[in-house]
Amino acid sequence: MTPAPTPEPHQRGLLSARWFDGIHSGAQPVLVGLHPGPRGPGLQLHPLKAGAAAPPLLPHEAVDWPETWSARRAQARLVVGLGPHGSLEIEDGAAWQAALQAAGARAGLAQRMQTRWQVFVAVLLLAVLGLVLFYRWGTPWAATQLARFVPLGWEQTVSEQAMRELDDGFLRPSRLPAERQAVLQARFEALDAQWRQARAQAAPGVLSRYGDYAPPMKLALRSGMPPNAFALPGGQIVMTDALVRAAERAKLGDDALIGVLAHEMGHVVHRHGTRLVVEQGVLNVGLGLALGDVSSMVATASTVLTHMAYRRDHEREADCFAVALMRHAQLPVAPMADLLLRIDGPDHAPEAAQKPAEGAATTPDTQEGGADWFSTHPDTPRRAQALRAGQGCEAAR
């Protein structure tokens, strides 16, 4: 390094500073010049000590520029890192800020958030909006695409684990007579056969969301819960004794129960349970990228499944599937709609269903009224009216 020319201390644009070069034990008095550059100001040292050598002009990226914490109040003392060339101590923070602006420095977004509350609030609102949009539309879309690559064996393993947790919790073996269980199993198997026949005859669509995906369907009858039916990934469907008895008390016949099972088969065929699990994973990855380590927020797949509430669009897809399958099997959909109203509450029974109300009873969460703002069932009376009219694709809008 060659000695730098020593400018006069009064020369405009230069700041007094103390330079710790990392070689000598003490500080050297220097003048600091800031010069415009393509990526931001560069920094030039002018030693005041005779014979002292200074590094060449340091480009913007070679300097560890101190952050500004207040737009109104300059820091009294600043430390500027120079990498292998040591560091500077600036005693006049206000003069430093003025020199930076004169050299064309532009505050980054982080600095503007620190110095202007309006920018901070705007960025915070945009971040919240982005997270909401990511949750509402981004994660469902990504989960729908990624679900194509989830092996059926994994779905069945997760469902078996979820069923063990449910059976160890509040589910109990069915108390229906063996003959009654056999009749329901036979009707379910016939419905499954109708679906496979229809699927073989039609192009992928409502009855075949994922092409070659055709898991074996299994019906498990259980007691211990209010009137309910729900589906797990890989073909496992559960129906409670209370739902069977509700249909019997309403004198709706088994077609009502078959319609509900067709709806749950729709959840399986459209892989809604798998999409919820994948969606949770996508959401956790997104939150991890946005907020850092969120490992404590990651739940197991079986926990997600045993506490899930389907989205409105999932219910719409399952209703579309049920209407299409029941039509193919030449079975009525109206009994299913009447059963939905019956188990939703006395005010929503078929003879009293004139006004809309929230809630439905086709997943574990909703039987406790626990569907939240982000994931909730559609309006049950309106949905039932659409189903009765054979408009399943409109039932959950």
Which tokens sit at 362? 């086709």
In the prediction, which pLDDT does 196 show? Answer: 92
Question: Tell me, what DSSP letter sits at residue 83?
Answer: G
Comparison of pLDDT for 360 and 182, the residue scoring more: 182
Lowest mean pLDDT among 172-186, 193-207, 343-357: 343-357
pLDDT higher than threshold 50 for residue 355: no
Task: Compute the distance between CA of residue 85 and CA of residue 82 in angstroms, rounded to an integer.
Answer: 5
Write out 193-258 in H/E/C secondary structure. Answer: HHHHHHHHHCCCCCCCCCCCCCCCCEEEEEECCCCCEEECHHHEEEEEHHHHHHHHHCCCCHHHHH
Q: What is the pTM of this model?
A: 0.61
pLDDT higher than threshold 90 for residue 374: no
pLDDT higher than threshold 70 for residue 341: yes
In the prediction, which pLDDT does 392 show? Answer: 59
| Pure H helices in 209-271 | 241-249, 254-269
Comparison of pLDDT for 200 and 271, the residue scoring more: 271
In the prediction, which pLDDT does 347 show? Answer: 46
In the prediction, which pLDDT does 362 show? Answer: 40
Q: Give the position of tokens 């349970």.
A: 273
Lowest mean pLDDT among 2-6, 55-59, 119-123, 157-161: 2-6
In the prediction, which pLDDT does 203 show? Answer: 58
In the prediction, which pLDDT does 376 show? Answer: 41
Question: Which pLDDT band, with edges at 50, 70 and 90, does 180 fall under?
Answer: very high
Tally of CA atoms within 13 A in the half-sphere of 78 that contains its CB: 22
Mean pLDDT of 169-179: 94
Q: Are 139 and 283 in contact (CB under 8 A)?
A: yes
In the prediction, which pLDDT does 297 show? Answer: 40
In the prediction, which pLDDT does 310 show? Answer: 59
pLDDT higher than threshold 80 for residue 71: no
In the prediction, which pLDDT does 110 show? Answer: 65
Mean pLDDT of 172-181: 96
Comparison of pLDDT for 378 and 106, the residue scoring more: 106
In the prediction, which pLDDT does 243 show? Answer: 95
pLDDT 10s digits, 234-274: 999 999 999 999 999 999 999 999 999 999 999 999 999 88
Distances (CA, A) of 11 to 4, 18, 99, 231, 268: 15, 17, 13, 79, 78
In the prediction, which pLDDT does 204 show? Answer: 58
Quickly count: other Cβ atoms within 10 Å of residue 157's Cβ.
Answer: 15
pLDDT 10s digits, 23-58: 887 888 999 999 888 888 989 998 888 777 888 888
pLDDT 10s digits, 96-128: 888 888 887 776 666 666 656 776 788 788 888
pLDDT higher than threshold 80 for residue 322: yes
Q: Are 270 and 209 in contact (CB under 8 A)?
A: yes
In the prediction, which pLDDT does 299 show? Answer: 41
Instruction: Tell me the domain boundaries of the chain.
Output: 14-114, 132-394
In the prediction, which pLDDT does 308 show? Answer: 52
Q: Are 245 and 279 in contact (CB under 8 A)?
A: no
Query: If you average pLDDT over every residue of the chain, what do you get?
Result: 77
If you count DSSP H runs as helices and E runs as strands, how many of each does the chain have, helices first? 13, 9
Mean pLDDT of 225-241: 93
pLDDT higher than threshold 60 for residue 356: no
In the prediction, which pLDDT does 357 show? Answer: 31
In the prediction, which pLDDT does 65 show? Answer: 83
Percent of the chain with pLDDT over 90: 33
